[in-house]
Structure 1
Amino acid sequence: MNDLAVCLAAEARRLGLESGALEHAHPDAVQTFAQRVLHGLAALGLIKGNVELGCWAAPRPGGH
């Protein structure tokens, strides 16, 4: 298992996202986890980084 997977699993546990019932998860916890995932991918060079992260790491505004 790679270091990113272990790190993300620990973060999911810390944020209380272990459950299969994510529809009950707090939106801030899900957003924080998404940001950590995207930063980890950027650190590995798999996405461009902050330019791409800004768009996907926050909830979409209404009307989209």
Structure 2
Amino acid sequence: MKVEVDELHCQGHGLCQMTSPDVFGLREEDGHSYVLPGGADPKHEESARQAAAACPERAIVVTSD
């Protein structure tokens, strides 16, 4: 699985991190999302997809390898 956050579209709403805290973290300086180390583990695929669906900016892309 591959998880990507488009930094140009992320507005720092934090819904992804609230939905999937094992996959996403929030940067302290601007609140924008990033994928945590190990966040792309296939065991997190369902929650990563839920977070992508929750993102109002559609800044998250989850793909299967």
Whether TM exceeds 0.5 here: the answer is: no
Bigger-Rg structure (1/2)? 1
For CA contacts below 8 A with separation 6 or more, give which structure has more relative contact order: 2
- Scaled by the length of structure 1, the TM-score of the pair is 0.37
- Scaled by the length of structure 2, the TM-score of the pair is 0.37
| Structure with the bigger percentage of strand | 2
| Structure with the bigger percentage of helix | 1
